[in-house]
Amino acid sequence: VGAGLIDQPLQQAMEIDPAAWPRVLAEITRQRLAGLAMHAVEEGLVALTDEQMDELLIAQRQQMLHAIDLERHLLMASRTLETAGVDAIVLKGTALAHGVYPDPSLRPFGDIDLLVRNSRWRDALEILAAAGFRRRYREPRPGFTARFGHAALLANDRDIEIDLHRTLVAGPFGEWIQADELFDQTTAFRVGGVDLLRLGNTAALAHACIHAALGYRPPLLLPVRDVAQLCLSPHIDWDLMRRWSCDWHLGVVFEHAFKAVAEVIGSPLHDASVNDALVENRGRRDVVALQAYTSQRRRYGGKATATILAIRGVRAKSRYVWALLFPDRDFLASRAKEGSASTYVRRWLIPIHWLKERWRLVLNVHCDRQPNPPASGDPR
């Protein structure tokens, strides 16, 4: 994951046990690391047998074929939006591959991510629908995503996916981030002779931290590498990062992402004082919000409950809760498991199940803290 990132003293190249190789290759493929693995081989950090090398090349070829195909659709989609007067910022994959990594072949991606201004998000949906990109999932109630969601996943008949964002992440942090401000933090990059917009390095670092810390549990390795790659890129405005730490409550997110980088790369990428400055204003609410993504609570409605706390105004909170408890019938039907009926009662059982499981978690923590656990029996 750190290949080509920091100068490492070249010791003996790592060899991979043939018996372990199928699992290693499967993980490389799942985590989209074939490009970085190839780089590690070319740098002499990893030594592969001819057979392993052939299989790695096949994996990377697959990822690159998909990436290049996605880029073709990105250019068409961005041209369509531009013609209609909608500004779009390219996020994550393509933007990082071309704007941040030294070679786009190192950074594969599985979909197209575009951020549009809140005020034009619905327009963008319609424009892209006319271009063949339809919403993949229903929303609980009309207008739910435009107010409380972070993005709509669109797909065309070839299964090319566009994540059309109105903010950077779902949940409480999505409520706190003022995504429209990011349009003042952009820079141009060129793909296939076309100028596109991406987030500048500081905003891209903030987004990479969000993706690495809040996206998956445990964090995927490629987003962690993105954070490291951006940390070492020029023009990071740490004062701006501090402002977002405070105004958008992101300090705990940055800290969590930088910890993940230090664990994966094996050393911190910057001085501890940088981290300290980012979290100096963190509050209890920020920590609770982070735990909604990074702890067991994530599985039991942590994000939904933390979102309720983050939404401003009682009316808006009520709208959110109402939409989740009383979604329209089509949404219920789309969520029903095969062979089972879609009823409101089943829907309402979900938060009851969450509460039960979270209560069990609380009890577990409580029992784990007991200095002298019972001699026999399972307290859980």
Partner 1 sequence: MTRTTYCQSALVLQRRVGREVLITRVDYGAIDSLAGTAFDAWSLLERPQTSEQVVASLAERYQVDAERIHQDVERLLEELVYRQWVTTLERA
Task: Give the residues lining the site for partner 1 (CB under 8 A).
Answer: 38, 57, 60-61, 64-65, 67-69, 71-72, 75-76, 103-105, 190-194
User: Six-digit token pair at 215?
Assistant: 């996206």
Report the residue number, 105 or 186, with the smaller CB distance to partner 1: 105
Query: Backbone phi, then psi, for 295, in 5-degree steps?
Result: -110, 180
Could you tell me the smallest distance in angstroms from the CB atom of residue 42 to partner 1? 9
Instruction: Compute the chain's Rg from CA coordinates.
Output: 22
Report the residue number, 25 or 67, with the smaller CB distance to partner 1: 67
Report the residue number, 193 or 371, with the smaller CB distance to partner 1: 193
Report the residue number, 101 or 244, with the smaller CB distance to partner 1: 101
Could you tell me the smallest distance in angstroms from the CB atom of residue 91 to partner 1? 19
DSSP state letters, 145-198: HHHT-SEEEEE-TT--EEEEESSS-SSHHHHH--GGGGGGSEEEEEETTEEEEE
Q: At a CB cut-off of 8 Å and minimum separation 6, what does 309 contact?
A: 172, 285, 288, 289
Could you tell me the smallest distance in angstroms from the CB atom of residue 329 to partner 1? 41
Report the residue number, 109 or 293, with the smaller CB distance to partner 1: 109
Report the residue number, 74 or 241, with the smaller CB distance to partner 1: 74
- The H-or-E segment that residue 346 falls in is helix 344-369
Q: Is 250 helix (H, G, I), strand (E, B) or coil?
A: coil
| CB hemisphere CA count around 344 (13 angstroms) | 8
Cross-sheet strand order for the sheet of 151-155: 134-135, 151-155, 161-165, 112-116, 88-91, 194-199, 186-191
Report the residue number, 102 or 283, with the smaller CB distance to partner 1: 102
CA distances from 126 to 87, 91, 96, 132 (A): 14, 20, 27, 10
CA distances from 207 to 78, 130, 159, 364 (A): 21, 29, 25, 34
Report the residue number, 193 or 234, with the smaller CB distance to partner 1: 193
| DSSP category for residue 20 | T
Could you tell me the smallest distance in angstroms from the CB atom of residue 62 to partner 1? 9
Could you tell me the smallest distance in angstroms from the CB atom of residue 222 to partner 1? 16
User: Six-digit token pair at 221?
Assistant: 């390795």
Could you tell me the smallest distance in angstroms from the CB atom of residue 71 to partner 1? 5
Could you tell me the smallest distance in angstroms from the CB atom of residue 144 to partner 1? 34
Could you tell me the smallest distance in angstroms from the CB atom of residue 226 to partner 1? 18
Report the residue number, 67 or 127, with the smaller CB distance to partner 1: 67
Could you tell me the smallest distance in angstroms from the CB atom of residue 65 to partner 1? 6
DSSP state letters, 179-194: GGGGGGSEEEEEETTE
